[in-house]
Amino acid sequence: MTKNSDCKKFYVIGLNYEKADVVTRSNFSLSKDKQKQLLSEAKKININSVVILSTCNRIEIMGFAKHPFQLISLLCKYSKGTVEEFAKVSYVFKNSDAAEHVIRIATGIESQILGDYEIVGQLKDAFAMAKEANTVNAYLERLFNVSLHASKETKNRTSISSGTTTVSYAAIQYIKDHYSKKNPKKILVYGLGDIGQSTARSCSEYLKAHEMTIINRTESIAKDLAKEIKVVMAPHKDLIDHVKASDIIIVATGASNPTVTNEMISGDKKQLIIDLSIPRNADPAINEREGINIIDVDILSKKTKETLEERKKQIPLVEEIIDKYKSEFYEWLNFRRSTPAINSLKKSLEIIQKDAISSHSKKYEDVNADLVEDVTSQMINKIVSKFAMHLKSDNTQANKSIKVMKDVFNLETTEN
């Protein structure tokens, strides 16, 4: 732990797709503004090291606190969720389990669609926001760095992401399975955040037979993307007209309230709405309309069974990679914790060395003080090095050994 952590522990509190359905996750989702407000308040109440991860599949707060309820309270304050609702579907990890959880997330092994690497970009964004808010300590910085290295090795050494099945790709696959090239459709992609842009690019690459239009509230983003992937861009003011005219509407906005409402839907044609947004941005009232089929992220995740079965075969290798980077992180942590004790031990031995040389120099005039100091300094360095290697080997034993060192040598150290 850090010196200023005041005996706080590292926690990850949150919920994900495993227990919380899309409606519940929507209740706990945090907009960018809400995340910034939460980070700001966290610092005010002396929770100085915290990162927020809010995606379509999971909402987590990771940081140092005296009790996990401090983090849970912040999440509930800035979202629409309640403590009671959170308790039914949540998880809480502490210290080493929490650190391992972050590493596992980065490898894609905990993603709703196994091997989905969209989470890596989301982790980077979460970390960047926390850095900007100055809520990242050395522990979190190292943990994120290790997690990203684990992610990179997983991608390079395994095929757990083969036949990429991200949420956006799953949407494309659904369209390919249900709509023939011989009967082209009008596709509208509305909302061009990370997922929206990824989906639009996939549409352009895999659904060339269909006619695609993209719309975004910030029109400059839509213009740049339309030029890049060579599709039609429409102004945001024409959204209703394009929703009514399209056969397939893909919604990927980050709004807190529905952006595709019942009034926008055409009454004289069948339409497919694929809602990739969290919270859901297609008004639930649309479900009552005849001829309208709404697909959300939970439904899409069920369309990838064959690919997932192949990916599952890679899990043992990914677990090996996770173990490797867990060990690397714990080794760093143990060394960091033991450094003050090692430095203090060296100083204590050097004091004993000087006293001994001084005492013997008075008794024996022919003593070569420089030679004695050189030899004993080498001995001190070897003793300190042996202790350092021992302390790095095992966390529990290291704590006991540090206590023995303190008792024997009267060391004065601070927790690091």
What is the pLDDT, as a whole number, of residue 380?
82
Measured over all CA atoms, what is the biggest interatomic distance in the chain, rounded to whole angstroms?
A: 110
What is the pLDDT, as a whole number, of residue 303?
66
Rg of the chain's alpha carbons, rounded to an integer?
28
Three-state DSSP state, 168: helix
Token code pair at residue 124 = 């980077």
Strand partners, 61: 13, 52
Q: Does 2 score more than 70 pLDDT? A: no
pLDDT band at 1 (very low <50, low <70, confident <90, very high): very low
Q: Contact at 8 Å (CB) between 8 and 2?
A: no
Q: Which residue has the higher pLDDT, 327 or 331?
A: 327
pLDDT in tens, 156-206: 999 887 765 667 778 888 898 888 888 889 999 999 988 899 899 888 888
Question: What distance in Å separates the CA atoms of residue 281 and residue 286, rounded to the nearest whole number?
Answer: 11
pTM, two decimal places:
0.63
Token code pair at residue 366 = 């022919």
pLDDT in tens, 235-252: 999 999 999 999 999 999
Residue 140 CB neighbour total at 10 angstroms: 23
Q: Does 392 score more than 80 pLDDT? A: no
- Backbone dihedral region for residue 266 (phi beyond 0: left; psi -120 to 50: alpha; all else: beta): beta
pLDDT in tens, 50-94: 999 998 789 999 999 999 999 999 999 999 999 999 999 999 999
Q: φ, ψ for residue 407 (rounded to 5)?
A: -70, -40
* Best-predicted range by mean pLDDT (7-11, 64-68, 398-402): 64-68
What is the pLDDT, as a whole number, of residue 188?
96
Q: Does 334 score more than 80 pLDDT? A: no
Question: What distance in Å separates the CA atoms of residue 368 and residue 384, rounded to the nearest whole number?
Answer: 24
**What is the DSSP track for 252-314?**
----SS-SB-GGGS-SSS-EEEEE--SS--B-GGGGGSTTEEEEEHHHHGGG-HHHHHHHHTT
Question: What distance in Å separates the CA atoms of residue 205 and residue 199, rounded to the nearest whole number?
Answer: 10
Which domains can be identified in the chain, with CATH numbers? 3-163 (3.30.460.30), 167-300 (3.40.50.720), 330-409 (no CATH)
1-5, 254-258, 350-354 — which is least confidently predicted?
1-5
Question: What distance in Å separates the CA atoms of residue 130 and residue 122, rounded to the nearest whole number?
Answer: 12
Strand partners, 250: 189, 274
Mean pLDDT, residues 361-372 taken together: 75
Q: Does 14 score more than 50 pLDDT? A: yes
Q: Does 6 score more than 60 pLDDT? A: no
Q: Contact at 8 Å (CB) between 188 and 250?
A: yes
How high is the mean pLDDT of the chain?
Answer: 87
Q: Contact at 8 Å (CB) between 280 and 304?
A: no
Question: What distance in Å separates the CA atoms of residue 360 and residue 3, rounded to the nearest whole number?
Answer: 40
- Please give the DSSP secondary-structure letter assigned to residue 179: S
Helix/strand/coil percentages in the chain, nearest 5 = 60, 15, 30
**What is the DSSP track for 74-94?**
HHHHHSS--HHHHHHH-EEEE
What is the pLDDT, as a whole number, of residue 244?
93
Three-state DSSP state, 110: coil
Nearest residue to 81 (alpha-carbon basis) of 40, 167, 21: 21
What is the pLDDT, as a whole number, of residue 143?
97
Task: Please tell me which residue in 7, 56, 76, 203 is annotated as part of the active site.
Answer: 56
Q: Does 4 score more than 60 pLDDT? A: no
What is the pLDDT, as a whole number, of residue 135?
97
Mean pLDDT, residues 409-413 taken together: 63
Q: Contact at 8 Å (CB) between 107 and 151?
A: yes
Token code pair at residue 297 = 């992220």
Q: Does 36 score more than 80 pLDDT? A: yes
* Helix or strand run (H / E) with residue 173: helix 167-178
pLDDT band at 289 (very low <50, low <70, confident <90, very high): confident
Q: Is 76 annotated as catalytic?
A: no
**pLDDT > 90: percent of the chain:** 50
Question: What distance in Å separates the CA atoms of residue 132 and residue 177, rounded to the nearest whole number?
Answer: 43
What is the pLDDT, as a whole number, of residue 92?
98
Q: Does 320 score more than 90 pLDDT? A: yes
Residue type (1 letter), 298: D
pLDDT band at 139 (very low <50, low <70, confident <90, very high): very high
Q: Does 376 score more than 80 pLDDT? A: yes
What is the pLDDT, as a whole number, of residue 3?
44
Token code pair at residue 92 = 């809480």
Nearest residue to 328 (alpha-carbon basis) of 109, 105, 99: 99
Question: What distance in Å separates the CA atoms of residue 217 and residue 362, rounded to the nearest whole number?
Answer: 85
Q: Does 415 score more than 90 pLDDT? A: no
What is the pLDDT, as a whole number, of residue 89?
96
